[in-house]
Structure 1
Amino acid sequence: MKITQGREEKSQVGDFDRRFAERTSLGPSAVPRVRVMSGIRATGKLHIGHYFGSLRNWIALQRDYDCYFGVMDWHGMTTAYKRTAELTPWIYDIYAELLAWGLDPEKHTLFVQSLVPEHLELFMIFANLTPMGWLQRVPTWKDAEEEAKQSDTHNLGRFAYPVLQAADVAIYRGEKVPVGADQVAHLELTREIIRRFNHIYGGNLPEAAPLLTETPLVPGLDGRKMSKSYGNGVELTEESKSLSKKIRTMPTDPARVRREDPGEPTKCTVYTYHRLFSRAEDLGWVEHGCRTAGIG
């Protein structure tokens, strides 16, 4: 389309096409890539759970998708509302680490959640059309409710967390969300909220579909869920001396009371880490040594 201003012709669409082509690494006539949206909560420095759960997949996805990756500090505030001063350094640390690990802001969008006010605006609209029963049946809330009561985070923000997640996806018109198989049911709530919004208001927001990615179990050093509140994580920038100290305190199979007792590798947190980091031949040696009490 051309717009004529006196004798000068200017392309109204051409500049947009050029920017879009540059942003997606596609030619002007190429088919736009599917849009992926995902985020990491700002709860501290990135640890190995973030790497295997999100970051590794993000690095791979940016080759084939139009990606929107976020540092989600509003989500972090649901459990850190008494320590808001800590959020800013966490945001800087996470953002810097995402760049250092190879996410390319020239080709994709990296954003900080609180700097985009539309997240909360759409969250408010979604909150008004989301039945309480939908939130009460979310599996992750049922699992976390008791812990939330004990940690003084049994609040509306944490309960309505999935509604904000739905808004996070919807404002960028996300078409795919990378999740593990155990998170598909959780994403279905996002789809239901968006579907209801479209039905009530005649919208056309995409119902984001799951993009199944490999997300291996990465327990904390003590075998529980890796969490800053538990102090059982291994940061991606962990110093070697600190890392060595942490690894040496990890528990093995609790059934091995004596050194000569055989163990069961699948019950050992150390073995879980071997499965993530060790070569196949070393993994076999560890497994055999544990079961025969040859090591430990």
Structure 2
Amino acid sequence: MPLSLPERPIILTGDRPTGPLHLGHYVGSLRNRVALQSTHQQFLLLADAQALTDHMHDPAKVSRSILEIATDYLAVGIDPDSTTICLQSHLPALADLTLLYANVVTVARLERNPTIKDEIQARGFGRDIPAGFLCYPVAQAADITAFKATIVPVGEDQAPLIEQTNEIVRRINRQAGADVLPEAQALIPSVGRLPGIDGKAKMSKSQGNTIPLSATEDQIRDAVRRMFTDPLHIRAADPGRIEGNVVFTYLDAFDDDHAVVADLKDRYVSGGLGDSVVKKRLEDVLQAVVAPIRARRAALAHDPGHILEVIRRGTERARAITDTTQRDVRRALGLFTLH
């Protein structure tokens, strides 16, 4: 029997609650989620269980961050009536599917996953890899398939995880003799990963090189002033480089006046334009982006009960969907069920 798909494509995305969201999240995913929620059936997963794979030493931090991130969602414009915001650890079907899928994936395949290999190296695990971390691709496959999502917004470096999800889907469908689960497509944003303000490869909460969505005017001003530019551009008259210049990377990501940015680039490369002028432009742009988010966030923070209710309602809605998928998969595989 062919798989029946909904009229509106299903998107699953989310974040690990390990600290406040920042401008890297905004440009990489949050503003796209706001745009897509009117045309797609969107689920936003607060991935607290996944966060424990490398934060088990500080579970209180994960718990504290749940309401913070949900507040960020609402502050940037996520509508809980259009997008379902749900808590991963309170969806038991996800854990059951993870255990089920773990039986069709080898340790060798998990260790070959490029994303996992890079993350293991970045965290310095060596061979002391938490089993939960190694099995993260399996858990993500459970998340995606439980919602029968066909679109998953990820960075380019995360694309191998979607391919591994599809390998599991094909294995389950082949064993069931029917298309029980759909394959998913990675939706990679046009703007690449935003670098940290220090010029390092990515903006990361753990490296302290981020600009949070709740940043004050002074924090934004200070962050822009400290931004990495061209170390050889010592005087305004010197020709400067655009490549690797964090200020221009941020202008490309946030400044809607592309003509002005193009003019700044031409003048910078030719010589005669100081870093202070370019940074002032970026500061003005970022202040305009963050100010309304910060204001909405401050208003939402006065009513944490409302945020909690949004998560509770969304999780109840998500549980009904994921429980149904779990039963469908178990029945298709001929597994015993009491329901």
Q: Contact 1:78/1:153 (CA < 8 Å) preserved in 2? A: no
TM-score of the pair, normalised by structure 1: 0.82
Q: 2:152 aligns with which of 177, 180, 185?
A: 177
Indicate the residue corresponding to 1:71 in structure 2: 46
Q: 1:283 aligns with which of 248, 252, 261?
A: 261
Does residue 165 of structure 1 match 2:140?
yes
How far the C-alpha of 1:249 sits from its partner, in A, is: 0.9
Structure 1 residues not aligned, in runs of 5+: 1-30
The aligned amino acid for 1:280 is H
> 2 CA distance for matches of 1:57 and 1:277?
13
The aligned amino acid for 1:218 is L
The DSSP-based 3-state class of the residue aligned with 1:189 is: helix
The aligned amino acid for 2:12 is M
The aligned amino acid for 1:117 is P
Does residue 217 of structure 1 match 2:193?
yes
The aligned amino acid for 1:273 is Y
Which structure's relative contact order is higher, taking Cα pairs within 8 Å and 6+ residues apart?
A: 2
> 1 CA distance for matches of 2:236 and 2:92?
58
> 2 CA distance for matches of 1:293 and 1:140?
42
Higher mean displacement: 62-71 or 203-212:
203-212
Q: 1:294 aligns with which of 252, 273, 276?
A: 273
RMSD over aligned Cα atoms: 2.3
Which one has the largest radius of gyration?
Answer: 1
Cα distance change on mapping 1:209 and 1:274 into 2, 3 Å: closer
Indicate the residue corresponding to 2:315 in structure 1: none
Indicate the residue corresponding to 2:293 in structure 1: none
Identity among equivalent positions (%) equals 35
Q: Identify, as 1 or 2, the structure richer in helix.
A: 2
The DSSP-based 3-state class of the residue aligned with 1:109 is: strand
Q: Identify, as 1 or 2, the structure richer in strand.
A: 1
Indicate the residue corresponding to 2:55 in structure 1: 80
Q: Contact 2:45/2:86 (CA < 8 Å) preserved in 1? A: yes
Structure 2 residues not aligned, in runs of 5+: 1-5, 276-339
The DSSP-based 3-state class of the residue aligned with 2:42 is: strand
Indicate the residue corresponding to 1:271 in structure 2: 248
Q: Contact 1:221/1:247 (CA < 8 Å) preserved in 2? A: yes
How many residues are aligned here? 266
Cα distance change on mapping 1:36 and 1:260 into 2, 3 Å: same
Indicate the residue corresponding to 1:143 in structure 2: 118
Higher mean displacement: 145-154 or 273-282:
145-154
